[in-house]
Structure 1
Amino acid sequence: MDDLTVTTESVISARYVLRSLSKAASWARMKFKAKKCRKLVMRRGKICDKLQLEVQGERIPAIAEQPIKSLGKKFDVTLSDKKNIEEFKQQIRDGLEAIENSELPGRYKVWCYQYGLLPRAVWPMTMYDIPLTVVEEVERRVSRHLRKWLGVPPGLTSIGLYSKTAKLQLPLTSMEEEYKVTKARAQLMLQESRDELVSQAGIRLRSGKKWAAAEAVASATSRLKHRDIVGVVAQGRRGFGAGREGTQRWGTASPRERRELIQKEVRQQEEEVRRSRAVSQGVQGAWTRWEGVRERKVMWNELMYSEPLKIRFLLKSVYDLLPTAANLKRWRKKDEDKCELCGKTGNLSHVLTSCPVALGKGRYTWRHNQVLKVIASAVEEQITENKVKGKQRKGLQFISFVKEGWRGKSKEKKEREQIGIIASASDWSLHADLGKQLAFPADIIDTNLGPDLILFSRKTTQVVLLELTVPWEDRMEEANERKRMKYQELVSRCREKGWKTWYFPVEVGCRGFIGQTLWKALGQLGLAGKKRREVTKRVTKTTVDASLWVWTLRNTTQ
């Protein structure tokens, strides 16, 4: 601001304007509220408080005495955001301290942060010129509390807390990510303002030297335009153009949709940074090398109502933070890294899948059978449901009435619900390798091999073989190839005998991660939609519970 010289004429003019306003207010039978006004007088770049202004006998306070708040933003005598930034940091500290001092369990404290403290921090981050370094400092403080409330060690990477593309995803949002999204949204509001004086002013929000909102918006816009040129890239075995439906293009988007696309792109860029950092982490970034493993999202319902011990075990096992012998040696709390049962290197993979003593005690077999029970029970329920539907189809046909304004199921959707191997026959027999060794039906073929689950129909000469493996997640592809080669000859012999044969080698990671093979197998059998999701949730829960039991007995010979 330029130096302002206060002269006698200017003082007289100011008093004249105030008297005029006072008279106008009295004429309009209105009262001029001096307490809602502020005065600021500067002389040669310095604040001058010698001039006192009054209206109707009331003194107008100086902005140095009482800062003013306009549109949610505070203005003090310095006309800078230094004090506001300190208040923002203090607001976060007070909020975390209030949550910490509450008598709530840790998982409820996490919820209070996500839906109580974080939304309150969004507005100050939008209005004030807070640099990114300050937000990073605040997020480090927040992450320390989140780790404490979740019961995980301080060494857990922040990627495990906030990543949305990790194999294990928590329902938490990064404050740094929200800061960048809010700044990008504010920048877009200025650039696309209907007022030409605002939109053409070239306003650039201040966010420090490390990151600039205007550059982030320009980069996101460029990427979206380039994506329109490239089109939808084919992934996996899907054909050209697959996935094009439902995708919003930049060229055809409305202004509001473009703002949403840019905000989504800013989030995606932030996630790419996390992903690149995770790849460089040898231990806690091991999940980036998992092949054929489906992502697992921990929802609030599971986080709130599950036992805290199981949640802690899940997080520590995924990021290898459990106190194994190998980790204790790496943390310099133990001299040797040997397993107490067999003497081999006692890392987490050895404890959960490879210890010969635990294998001899039947711990891995017990876990395998617990998971197999869930799968076999789901298949049996589907067989029973299919038989009931078959009887209903043979009997009377009833009309399905639909409420006004509702949409009934289309014919294609009804037919899609009946698609699957199980729906192709009504005399399925299910045999599972539980309790005693499973013998392959002699009328199909004579063999000593016995898959974990056999499903056959003599009327339609169909047989389904399912072989379950519960390996270490890094070795799921290897386990699939090994089991596929083991039963390849059996499948060929069944087909030579005239039986239509399906063989599904499926994997479930020892830490509860579903293999893509199991997901596809359930779909081909006829379990789809909500039913398939419920089955995989039960499989995941059962596997984690069983692995927790295996971990608890890691140093015992019982």
Structure 2
Amino acid sequence: MGVTQTNRAGLGSTTNKIFSKEGPKEKKRDMVLEEVRVFEEEQRTSVAVAQAKQCAWTKWNDIEPIKLSWKSLIAMEPLAISFLLRSTYDILPNATNLKLWGYTDSDLCFSCKQDRGTLRHVISGCPKLLQLYTWRHNQVLEIIIKLLRTQCESANQQPVTVKKPTIQFHKESERPARRKKNSEVKLLNGTNDWKILADLNTSLQFLAHIIQTEKRAEIVAWSDTKKNILLIELTVPWEDNVEDAHERNKNRYETLLADCIEKN
């Protein structure tokens, strides 16, 4: 009889994998493992969606998942691993959880004493913790600056090569060879005069020799030869606000981007 239809979709609208018609045993085994993995992930997600508090991470859209390997876990401090897992599932001992668990009678924030001490409030919304938020922001910014500076120095040490377009000929009966697409985009290639400025511990002024503006990004890397400018603006928002924060920063620099394009 073959595979029967189990839903209201039209005949032939879905495809089903028939393991017996596949190739070697290794491929069949990989297909079975993939099917089991997908099934278990669906079951886990369905249970997580029903838990609104501990599994709010199911509503985080456009969030890059953390790739934890055994090597990275071994290198991390135990307290860092504990904070990472407990903050993801919202089981840290904040004011609201302590009241929920029966340890305290009040769920007000320990710092401001004004709003409920939820995880979101403590991590990104308490007016008494602004200095800690700035410190956290600068710690992340410092890592980005260090990596970008290393990349710029490495690019400046490389010889500048200009690739000329070539034409590959082939015989009439032969098919042209497929070119391998390089998925890695190297923004710093093609010049060796990259410079970098950062708004960390000092007030960063935008490049006066390019355009006069009061706006400033947190990191600016530019090449006068290539006429390229890289603007980096860092925001460390609550996961639900990632998309909104991205749109705010994008709109903030639209005028500056248009002015730079006008200046070539």
TM-score bucket (shorter structure): 0.7 to 0.9
Match among 6, 30, 40 for residue 270 of structure 1? 40
Q: Summarize deviations over 1:439-480 as a string: whole Å, max 9, x none.
A: 111111111111111111122222111111011112111111
Deviation at 1:230, TM superposition (A): 4.4
CA contact (8 A) 2:221 2:230 kept: yes
**What is the Cα deviation at residue 250 of structure 1?**
4.6
Q: 1:426 to 1:264 in 2, by over 3 A?
A: same
Aligned residues: 240
In structure 1, what is the equivalent of residue 207 of structure 2? 441
User: Percent of pairs identical after alignment?
Assistant: 39
What is the CA–CA distance in structure 2 between the aligned matches of 1:339 and 1:285, rounded to whole Å? 22
Aligned twin of 2:147: 378
Partner of 1:347: 118
Residue correspondence of structure 1 range 503-518 to structure 2 within 5 A: none
Please report how far the alpha carbon of residue 267 of structure 1 lies from its aligned counterpart in structure 2 after TM superposition: 2.9
Q: 1:421 to 1:334 in 2, by over 3 A?
A: same
Change (3 A) 1:462 1:251: farther
1:365 paired with 2:134, answer yes
Structure 1: 5+ residue stretches without partners? 1-217, 223-227, 232-247, 395-410, 499-558
Q: Quote the residue 2:83 is aligned against.
A: 313
Partner residue, 1:421: 187
Distance 1:322 1:352 in 2: 11
SS at match of 2:158: helix
Correspondences of 1:209-228 after superposition (within 5 Å): none
Query: How many angstroms apart in 1 are the aligned matches of 2:52 and 2:118?
Result: 14
Q: 1:496 matched to which residue of 2?
A: 262
1:312-331 deviations in Å (ceiling 9; x for gaps): 11111111101101111222
Write the deviation string for residues 488-544 of structure 1: whole angstroms up to 9, x where unpaired.
11111211222xxxxxxxxxxxxxxxxxxxxxxxxxxxxxxxxxxxxxxxxxxxxxx
Q: Does 1:469 align with 2:238?
A: no
Tell me the TM-score normalized by structure 2.
Answer: 0.80
- Aligned equivalents of 2:155 and 2:73: distance in 1? 34
Alignment of 1:80-159 (within 5 A): none
1:228-278 deviation line (CA, Å, top 9, x unaligned): 9747xxxxxxxxxxxxxxxx9857513623344234312321221111111
Deviations 1:283-342 (CA, angstroms, capped at 9, x unpaired):
111111111111223222233342211111111111110110111122222111111221
**Cα distance in 2 for residues equivalent to 1:260 and 1:379:** 39
Distance in structure 2 (CA, Å) of the matches to 1:422 and 1:452: 19
Q: State the alpha-carbon separation in 1 of the partners of residues 250 and 14 from structure 2.
A: 38
Question: Residue 283 in 1 paired to residue 53 in 2?
Answer: yes
Taking a change above 3 Å as real, the CA distance of residues 304 and 420 of structure 1, as seen in their structure-2 partners, is closer
Q: Quick one: higher RCO (CA 8 Å, sep 6+), 1 or 2?
A: 2
Matching of residue 323 in structure 1 with residue 93 in structure 2: yes
Deviation at 1:425, TM superposition (A): 2.4
| Separation (CA, whole Å) in 1 of partners of 2:153 and 2:83 | 36
SS in 1 for 2:144: helix
Does 1:302 find its partner at 2:75? no
User: What is the deviation of 1:371?
Assistant: 0.8
Q: Is the 8 A contact 2:90 2:119 kept in 1?
A: yes
The separation in 1 between residues aligned to 2:145 and 2:132, in whole angstroms, is: 20
Please tell me whether Structure 1 or Structure 2 has the larger radius of gyration of its CA atoms: 1
C-alpha distance in 1 between matches for 2:90 and 2:54: 7
Taking a change above 3 Å as real, the CA distance of residues 449 and 255 of structure 1, as seen in their structure-2 partners, is: same
TM-score computed with the length of structure 1 as normaliser: 0.40
> In 2 relative to 1, CA 424–252 (structure 1 residues): closer, same or farther, beyond 3 Å?
farther
Secondary structure of 1:423's aligned partner = coil
